[in-house]
């Protein structure tokens, strides 16, 4: 036991040291740049959102969707075929997973999903069909609730962060990071054509939890560091953060690849977007602000 | 070394984890997990009341729906009110899209039942005292026998005195207090003796519904939306039957309630009228009922093109008569049908995805530390966490649906993050001298747990709002996230810290 201990520990530490070395370019960055770049990304994301807001999914907008599993078809041709047959314009999307692939057929509300299924059964009798429909009135309720949930969750997060740190600048930075993560994630959704649905709203809520994790880690390390220099504390934190993010990203990627459930797929992809944004916002933006803040405090002769 | 191992095993955090693990595995073995509709297959419907109602009315709606769906012979039905307007209905074991649609129509029929004679309503659903088993005949005609109250029977006997061959109508959810706009031919049929059974001298259907339900009918002759709106003054809604569809949008634009009924392919005027009015009958009044003797046992009959339809029609009537009317009209605003076979696929996928994610975590953590003594405890602690969450879910019979599984993923994700924080804090203090080590470990653990508690508190605070304010499927997500985070900070995280301290030799 003791032998293996002495053998493995140095190797673990040398790996850690190497990683910190690789990440040290972040520590050397000037804080002005560290604040400016992420802010620029945030602004670009805002512009993207204004130009190209993600479309609302049928559960927020209303509509009919038929999902057929075990259908391998050209979406455009299939769409044309169904539209001709039932006399309603439909949109077809294909998807793939490890075990099954299939198509989703979207139609406006009022279309009878059974008709779409009947039309498809002529061509694909062995496929597995499911359908769902949502009235626009309920879509509106869901939208309002989604917005309310996001706003309340965000406020709750903000309050708890304030209570834990009781320090204006670091708290505000964490809250802004979370906001920027969400904005960037939603902008990327628009860019990649991922719809805003109740599932993706759930993912955005999840993001609040993840974002706060890494930001609290950084803030705690820098504000409550006792013996280390700011740079060393930062390096320790960023290497932990890097491990955290890559682990989570890896797990999410696997989830995304294996699942054919749209709910799970969308949650995974939105979280991936958000975590990528979070890496920047935590380790560059938040770190930049904290560096500036600590330097200023030190200059004032504060405790740091 | 032995002493250290013993000390670890005697640590209360480890004991707690072990107890919970044993408990969870036992629970899972005894009580299998229950899955939501989106995994086990079935239909989920979201219904909205016509207007907001108070809690008492909502309870009536829920009870009545439950009864109704029970009479359909369905198992595993949950009806749940959310807020003052939304009812969530989940029915498991629904195998075909057609069956799903029948459930929808049963929910949507408010089930206000009227018995009418010469324009007078002599009985409603509340007068139904007993409903017999319905019968389907070989020619696909059907009948539902039932008994009406004494007072309704007496009232009827009085009305029907000497009126042999006159029509008796029964209505299910007729468009009460409305203006109907119909094609010329339909108007003529309603205004003729076509619906008069064997008594041409009796009032026409048009007159009867006008008197009984305040339904006015106009023939469509290219009137503008404005003209129609004027005619509809004082009415609750406008029913457009087989007229140009643009009228609907125009009238709705004037803030009027409009119901649009298009003619089905090949549908005759007669069956269109019957469908729009929810009319059963008219039944010709037999001689025995016209002598003034109250007769309580009656029946509704109908016929359908095939046996399946006959079965559905009869069971709908049976259900409505049996369960009474809903206090408020419900509209199904959302519906999702998942076939059980597909659900099976989702379940295996969830298992694969779970295992895949765990292995990924194991490998990536190993890659970062090059040390199985860190990677294996991190991955297995996450695995234990899943087990405990699932055990808890089985214990309280929580229906695991896809959002709940997403919640578990979220909890596990933050769990792994926090274990990494603990690990790095432990490894971080390598260079401190032996003397200061012990206190420094405590300090560093304190810092790690500060991070952990702060982020757990924010997640729980954020998710609680979701749990309280959200209607529909995201509740499951919020619930499992909170559950997972709580299990994490109270059970698995402290235990992991002990194990990590032991394995990394920081004691």
Dmax (CA) for chain A in angstroms is 80
Dmax (CA) for chain B in angstroms is 112
Confidence class for position B435, pLDDT limits 50, 70, 90: very low
- Same domain, residue pair B138 and B286: yes
Partnered with residue A68 across adjacent β-strands are A103, A129
Share of chain B above pLDDT 70, in %: 96
Size of interface A-B (CB pairs under 8 A): 259
Of A55-59, A73-77, A225-229, give the lowest mean pLDDT range: A225-229
Long-range contacts of the stretch B7-15 (C-beta < 8 A, 24+) = B7/B507, B8/B498, B8/B499, B8/B502, B11/B498, B13/B494, B13/B495, B13/B497, B13/B498, B14/B495, B14/B498, B14/B499
In angstroms, the CA B124 to CA A61 distance is 39
In angstroms, the CA A246 to CA B239 distance is 60
Phi-psi category of B119—alpha, beta or left, where left has phi over 0 and alpha has psi -120 to 50?
left
Q: Is the pTM of this model over 0.90?
A: no
Residue B97 lies in a domain: no
Share of chain B above pLDDT 90, in %: 20
Whether the CB-CB separation of A205 and A63 falls below 8 Å is answered with: no
Mean pLDDT, residues B410-431: 81
- Chain A positions in Cβ-Cβ contact with residue B470 (cut-off 8 Å): 145, 149
- Chain A positions in Cβ-Cβ contact with residue B336 (cut-off 8 Å): 130-132
Which residue do the tokens 């369905």 mark? B74
In angstroms, the CA B255 to CA B232 distance is 12
Q: Positive or negative CA dihedral for B334, B347, B389, B375?
A: negative
Confidence class for position B432, pLDDT limits 50, 70, 90: very low
Closest chain A CA to residue B414 = A210
Contact A199 B406 (CB under 8 A): yes
Q: Quick one: tokens of A97?
A: 């997973």
Number of domains in chain B: 2
Residue A3 has pLDDT above 50, yes or no: no
Residue A86 has pLDDT above 50, yes or no: yes
Strands B178-182 and B237-241: parallel
Contact A133 B361 (CB under 8 A): no
- Same domain, residue pair B29 and B157: no
Q: For residue B351, count other CB atoms closer than 10 A to its CB.
A: 11
Measured CA to CA in angstroms, residue B278 lies from B170, B265, B325 at distances of 8, 19, 14
Q: What is the ipTM of this complex?
A: 0.81
- Chain B positions in Cβ-Cβ contact with residue A257 (cut-off 8 Å): 356
* pLDDT at residue A4, rounded to an integer: 40
- Same domain, residue pair B319 and B374: no
In angstroms, the CA A78 to CA A123 distance is 10
C-alpha closest to that of B504 among B380, B383, B378: B378
- Same domain, residue pair B119 and B253: yes
Which of B45, B421, B443, B471 is the best mutation test for A, with the most CBs of A within 10 A?
Answer: B421
Helix (H) or strand (E) holding B301: strand B297-303
Q: For residue A160, count other CB atoms closer than 10 A to its CB.
A: 22
* pLDDT at residue A303, rounded to an integer: 47
Mean pLDDT, residues B46-67: 86
Residue B139 lies in a domain: yes
Last residue of a domain, one of B294, B325, B356: B325
Confidence class for position B305, pLDDT limits 50, 70, 90: confident
CA atoms within 13 A on the CB side of B361: 29
Instruction: Provide the residue count of chain B.
Output: 507
* pLDDT at residue A227, rounded to an integer: 63
- What do you get for the CA distance between the two ends of chain B, in Å? 11
Angle between helices A198-223 and A262-280 (to 10 degrees): 30
Mean pLDDT, residues A62-78: 86
Contact A132 B374 (CB under 8 A): no
* pLDDT at residue A8, rounded to an integer: 45
Q: For residue B133, count other CB atoms closer than 10 A to its CB.
A: 8
- Same domain, residue pair B396 and B317: no
B433 vs A62, higher pLDDT: A62
Q: For residue B230, count other CB atoms closer than 10 A to its CB.
A: 10
CATH code for the domain in which residue B413 is found:
1.20.1640.10
- Same domain, residue pair B297 and B380: no
Residue B78 lies in a domain: no
Residue B103 lies in a domain: no
Torsion of CA B284, B288, B289, B292, to 10 degrees: 150
Would you call the peptide bond into B429 cis, given omega within 30 degrees of 0 as the criterion? Answer: no
B375 vs A30, higher pLDDT: B375
Strands B178-182 and B120-124: unpaired
B471 vs B421, higher pLDDT: B421
Mean pLDDT, residues B140-168: 88
Last residue of a domain, one of B325, B358, B378: B325
Confidence class for position A199, pLDDT limits 50, 70, 90: confident
* pLDDT at residue A11, rounded to an integer: 64
Contacts of A21 (CB under 8 A, 6+ apart): none
Residue A9 has pLDDT above 70, yes or no: no
- In B221-276, the DSSP E strands lie at 237-241, 258-261
- Same domain, residue pair B288 and B346: no
DSSP B149-165: -HHHHHHHHHHHTT-TT
Contact B97 A114 (CB under 8 A): yes
- Chain B positions in Cβ-Cβ contact with residue A16 (cut-off 8 Å): 369, 424, 427
* pLDDT at residue B434, rounded to an integer: 46
Whether the CB-CB separation of B412 and B49 falls below 8 Å is answered with: no
Torsion of CA A213, A218, A224, A228, to 10 degrees: 140
Whether the CB-CB separation of B225 and B250 falls below 8 Å is answered with: yes
- Same domain, residue pair B235 and B132: yes
Residue B454 lies in a domain: yes
DSSP A69-89: ES----HHHHHHHHHHHHSS-
Contact B464 A156 (CB under 8 A): yes
Contacts of B19 (CB under 8 A, 6+ apart): none
Measured CA to CA in angstroms, residue A72 lies from A78, A118, A194, A259, A261 at distances of 10, 17, 22, 17, 17
Measured CA to CA in angstroms, residue B237 lies from B174, B229, B256 at distances of 12, 10, 7
In angstroms, the CA B182 to CA B243 distance is 7
B311-342 pLDDT tens trace: 877 887 787 787 777 778 888 888 888 877 77
Which residue do the tokens 């807020």 mark? B83
* pLDDT at residue B341, rounded to an integer: 74
Domain that holds residue B144: 110-325
Phi-psi category of B300—alpha, beta or left, where left has phi over 0 and alpha has psi -120 to 50?
beta
Which residue do the tokens 């919020």 mark? B478
Residue B26 lies in a domain: yes
- Same domain, residue pair B294 and B397: no
The per-residue pLDDT of chain A, averaged, comes to 84
Q: Quick one: tokens of B91?
A: 């029915």
In angstroms, the CA B251 to CA B417 distance is 57
C-alpha closest to that of A184 among A256, A284, A275, A283: A275
- Chain A positions in Cβ-Cβ contact with residue B443 (cut-off 8 Å): 226
* pLDDT at residue A99, rounded to an integer: 62
Sheet arrangement for strand B178-182: B216-219, B178-182, B237-241, B258-261
C-alpha closest to that of B215 among B195, B230, B236: B236
Whether the CB-CB separation of B406 and A264 falls below 8 Å is answered with: yes
Q: Quick one: tokens of B463?
A: 């998710």
**Which of B342, B371, B421 lies at the smallest CB-CB distance from A217?**
B421
The per-residue pLDDT of chain B, averaged, comes to 85
For A133, the 3-state DSSP assignment is strand
- Chain A positions in Cβ-Cβ contact with residue B359 (cut-off 8 Å): 254
Contact A16 B360 (CB under 8 A): no
Helix (H) or strand (E) holding B115: strand B113-117
A207-240 pLDDT tens trace: 888 888 889 889 988 887 766 688 888 888 888 8
Residue B166 has pLDDT above 80, yes or no: yes
* pLDDT at residue A188, rounded to an integer: 95
Contact A141 B416 (CB under 8 A): no
In angstroms, the CA B446 to CA B450 distance is 6
> Which of A116-130, A187-201, B35-49, B99-113 has the highest average model confidence (pLDDT)?
A187-201
For B284, the 3-state DSSP assignment is strand
Residue B333 lies in a domain: no
**Domains of chain A as residue ranges with CATH:** 24-57+138-299 (1.20.1640.10), 63-134 (3.30.70.260)
Helix (H) or strand (E) holding A132: strand A128-134
- Same domain, residue pair B278 and B397: no
Three-state SS letters, B413-440: HHHHHHHHHHHHHHHHCCCCCHHHHHHH
- Same domain, residue pair B200 and B140: yes
Contact A141 B461 (CB under 8 A): no
Q: Positive or negative CA dihedral for A237, A238, A240, A244?
A: positive
Kindly report the backbone phi and psi dihedral angles of residue B179, in degrees, each rounded to the nearest multiple of 5, phi listed first: -110, 125
Q: What one-character DSSP code corresponds to residue B204? A: P
CA–CA min distance A91, chain B (Å):
19
Last residue of a domain, one of B290, B325, B360: B325
Residue B92 lies in a domain: no
- Same domain, residue pair B242 and B369: no
Partnered with residue B142 across adjacent β-strands are B136, B302
CA atoms within 13 A on the CB side of B244: 11
Residue B50 has pLDDT above 50, yes or no: yes
Strands B216-219 and B178-182: parallel
């Amino acid at each position: 036991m003791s032998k293996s201990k002495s053998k493995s520990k140095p190797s673990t530490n040398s790996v850690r040291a190497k990683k910190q070395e690789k990440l040290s370019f972040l520590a050397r960055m000037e804080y002005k740049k560290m604040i400016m770049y992420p802010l620029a990304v945030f602004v670009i994301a805002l512009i993207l959102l204004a130009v190209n807001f993600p479309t609302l999914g049928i559960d927020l907008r209303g509509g009919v969707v038929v999902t057929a599993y075990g259908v391998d078809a050209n979406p455009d041709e299939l769409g044309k075929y169904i539209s001709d047959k039932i006399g309603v314009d439909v949109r077809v999307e294909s998807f793939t997973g490890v075990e099954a692939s299939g198509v989703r057929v979207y139609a406006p509300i009022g279309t009878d999903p059974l008709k779409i299924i009947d039309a498809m059964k002529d061509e694909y009798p062995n496929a597995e069909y499911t359908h769902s429909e949502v009235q626009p009135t309920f879509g509106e309720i869901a939208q309002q609730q989604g917005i309310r949930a996001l706003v309340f969750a965000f406020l709750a997060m903000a309050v708890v962060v304030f209570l834990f740190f009781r320090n204006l600048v670091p708290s505000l930075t964490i809250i802004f990071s979370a906001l920027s993560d969400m904005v960037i994630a939603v902008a990327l959704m628009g860019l990649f054509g991922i719809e805003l649905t109740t599932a993706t709203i759930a993912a955005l809520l999840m993001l609040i939890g993840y974002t706060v994790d890494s930001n609290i880690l950084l803030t705690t390390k820098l504000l409550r560091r006792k013996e280390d220099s700011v740079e060393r504390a930062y390096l320790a934190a960023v290497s932990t953060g890097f491990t955290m993010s890559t682990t989570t990203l890896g797990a999410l990627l696997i989830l995304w690849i294996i699942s054919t459930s749209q709910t799970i797929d969308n949650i995974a992809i939105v979280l991936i977007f958000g975590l990528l944004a979070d890496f920047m916002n935590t380790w560059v933006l938040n770190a930049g602000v904290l560096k500036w803040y600590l330097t200023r405090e030190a200059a004032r002769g504060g405790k740091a | 070394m032995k002493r250290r191992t013993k000390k670890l095993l005697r640590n209360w955090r480890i004991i707690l984890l072990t107890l919970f693990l044993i408990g969870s595995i036992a629970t899972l073995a005894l009580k299998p997990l229950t899955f939501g509709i989106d995994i086990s297959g079935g239909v989920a419907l979201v219904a909205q009341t016509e207007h907001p109602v108070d809690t008492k009315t909502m309870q009536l709606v829920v009870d009545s729906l439950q009864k109704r769906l029970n009479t359909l012979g369905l198992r595993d039905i949950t009806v749940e009110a959310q807020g003052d307007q939304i009812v969530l209905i989940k029915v498991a074991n629904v195998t075909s899209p057609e069956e799903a649609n029948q459930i929808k129509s049963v929910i949507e029929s408010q089930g206000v039942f009227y018995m009418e004679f010469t324009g007078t309503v002599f009985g409603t659903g509340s007068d139904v005292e007993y409903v017999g088993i319905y019968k389907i005949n070989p020619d696909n005609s059907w009948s539902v026998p039932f008994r009406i109250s004494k007072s309704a029977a007496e009232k009827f006997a009085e009305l029907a005195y000497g009126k042999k061959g006159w029509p008796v109508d029964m209505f299910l959810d007729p468009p009460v207090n409305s203006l109907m706009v119909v094609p010329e031919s339909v108007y003529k049929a309603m205004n003729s003796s076509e619906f008069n059974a064997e008594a041409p001298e009796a009032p026409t259907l048009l007159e009867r519904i006008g008197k009984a339900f305040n339904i006015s009918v106009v023939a469509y002759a290219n009137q503008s939306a404005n003209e129609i709106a004027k005619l509809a003054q004082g009415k609750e809604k406008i029913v457009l039957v087989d007229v140009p569809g643009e009228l609907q949008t125009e009238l709705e634009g004037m803030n009027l309630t409009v119901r649009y009924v298009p003619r089905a392919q090949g549908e005759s005027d007669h069956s269109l009228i019957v469908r729009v009015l929810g009319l059963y009958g008219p039944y010709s009044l037999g001689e025995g009922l016209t002598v003034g003797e109250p007769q309580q046992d009656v029946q509704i009959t109908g016929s359908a093109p095939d046996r399946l339809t006959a079965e559905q029609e009869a069971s709908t009537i049976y259900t409505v008569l049996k369960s009474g009317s809903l206090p408020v009209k419900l509209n199904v605003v959302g519906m999702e049908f998942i076939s059980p076979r597909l659900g099976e696929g989702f379940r295996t996928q969830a298992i694969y995805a779970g295992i895949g994610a765990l292995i990924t975590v194991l490998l990536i953590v190993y890659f970062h530390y090059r040390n199985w003594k860190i990677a294996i405890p991190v991955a297995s602690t996450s695995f234990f966490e899943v087990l405990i969450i699932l055990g808890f879910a089985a214990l309280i019979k929580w229906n695991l649906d896809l959002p709940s599984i997403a919640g578990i993923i979220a909890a596990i994700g933050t769990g792994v993050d926090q274990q990494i924080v603990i690990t790095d804090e432990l490894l971080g203090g390598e260079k401190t001298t032996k003397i200061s080590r012990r206190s420094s470990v405590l300090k560093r653990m304190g810092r790690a747990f500060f991070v952990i508690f702060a982020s757990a508190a924010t997640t729980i605070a954020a998710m609680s709002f979701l749990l309280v304010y959200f209607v529909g499927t995201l509740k499951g997500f919020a619930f499992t996230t909170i559950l997972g985070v709580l299990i994490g900070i109270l059970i698995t995280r402290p235990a992991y810290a002990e194990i990590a301290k032991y394995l990394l030799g920081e004691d």
